[in-house]
Amino acid sequence: MLNNNKNTGIKITGTGRYLPDKILSNLDLEAMVDTTDEWIRTRTGIEQRHIATDDQPTSFLGAGAAMQALEAAKLNPAEIELIIVATISPDKIFPNTACFVQKKIGAKNAVCFSVEAACSGFVYIMAIGSAMIESGLFKNAILIGAEKLSSIINWNDRSTCVLFGDGAGAVVLERTLSTEENMHIYSKLGSDGNHSDILHVPGGGSCQPFSQTVLDKKLHFLAMSGQEVFKLAVTTMAAAAKETLEKSGISIDDIKWLIPHQANTRIITAVAKRLNIDEKKVYVNLANYGNTSGATIPIALDELVRGGLINKGDYLLFVAFGGGLTWGANLIRW
């Protein structure tokens, strides 16, 4: 997806993140399920994850990240025209979580909706939000990846509970009329519903509404075929990143930071190898947060921005995959 409207573009004017205070370490997990710190570290790269408390729903985390991003952009909440939240752990089945964020931050003039593209959620809303601004429909937006995955995890299932964490990241996008300032170079999105059952929450939706059976069989928790997801993650992310580079005429050597979805360091290493990118340019913070699904990329971006590790003109490549399957990439020039 290229910006064909040459008169308008987007710039990222603020970033933010919110991680709940409570930390669950691998050692804590050893006391909960049959696992070891060594297994988790060597198979995934994760050392700890943040966990939200009962009174911190997804919108609370999202609002925290959004307020930081607004402050960085020097905008008042009332000036925001659009809020998009990427999440698979919404506050409620409906209304959409962006409406709850709107209420919490007081963005009374915003149009609000959520996107359910799992771990690819942020890459999806980056493409959607950019297109909505580039088209002239809105002059600014807050894009938020926010997850309270701890609420859909079976804490007795060692094959999934060690992998995920809670958190949120946000960016403020604003319209620019200057081609010099336009940051959005290209977005590639993909989906394949044929693999919808390898990473999903089987029960509690309209397919199998919530019932005692759903509860007894624990179908309201996330279920995953780890190895299948692993293989598809590597192929789809590498292909999306390659196509994005090719279509925009940018070489992998031009990329300052590859910011991949953070699910497993072995997946990230395999993707980096296929792209032939220097591993020093691949941003990895998985050890601290685990997999926060749609929040991983905006959290990583905010760390890089606040750490002073991105300079004007740098090319950033976001790439992700997730349940659906969904996958995608965004190329940004800072």
* 195 in active site: no
Per CB under 6 A, 196 contacts ligand UT7? no
Single residue of 35, 191, 269, 285 touching ligand UT7 by CB under 6 A: 35
Find the catalytic residue in 112, 119, 184, 195. Answer: 119
Q: What is the number of other CB atoms lying within 10 angstroms of the CB of residue 322? A: 28
Gap between the Cα atoms of 110 and 132, Å rounded: 13
* Residues between 104 and 123 that touch ligand UT7 (CB under 6 A): 119
Among 239, 228, 225, CA closest to 190:
239
Per CB under 6 A, 31 contacts ligand UT7? no
User: Measured from the CB of residue 264, what is the shortest distance to ligand UT7 in angstroms?
Assistant: 4
* Residues between 226 and 255 that touch ligand UT7 (CB under 6 A): 226-227, 229-230, 233
Per CB under 6 A, 162 contacts ligand UT7? yes
Stretch that binds ligand UT7, among 18-26, 49-57, 128-136, 158-166 (CB under 6 A): 158-166
Stretch that binds ligand UT7, among 78-86, 93-101, 222-230, 280-288 (CB under 6 A): 222-230
Token pair of 197 as six digits: 């059952």
| DSSP codes, 137-187 | S-SEEEEEEEEEGGGG--TT-HHHHTTB-EEEEEEEEEEE--TTT--EEEE
Residue bearing tokens 């090719």: 246
Find the catalytic residue in 184, 261, 288, 330. Answer: 261
Per CB under 6 A, 44 contacts ligand UT7? yes
Residue bearing tokens 């894009």: 143
Stretch that binds ligand UT7, among 3-11, 108-116, 224-232, 242-250 (CB under 6 A): 224-232
163, 154 Cβ separation under 8 angstroms: no
Peptide bond into 325 cis (omega under 30): yes
Stretch that binds ligand UT7, among 4-12, 77-85, 143-151, 156-164 (CB under 6 A): 156-164
Per-residue x/- marks for ligand UT7, 270-309, CB under 6 A?
A: ---------------------x------------------
| DSSP codes, 271-294 | HHHHHT--GGGB---HHHH-B-GG
Bridge-based pairing of strands 326-333 and 315-322 is antiparallel
CA 306 to chain centre: 18
User: Measured from the CB of residue 281, what is the shortest distance to ligand UT7 in angstroms?
Assistant: 21
Nearer to ligand UT7, 8 or 151 (CB): 151
Q: What is the number of other CB atoms lying within 10 angstroms of the CB of residue 179? A: 11
* Residues between 118 and 147 that touch ligand UT7 (CB under 6 A): 119
Cα-Cα-Cα-Cα dihedral sign, residues 274, 269, 330, 160: positive
CA within 13 Å, CB half, 180? 2
Chain residues binding ligand UT7 by CB under 6 A are 35, 39, 43-44, 119, 158-159, 162, 199, 224, 226-227, 229-230, 233, 263-264, 291, 322
Active-site residue list? 119, 261, 291
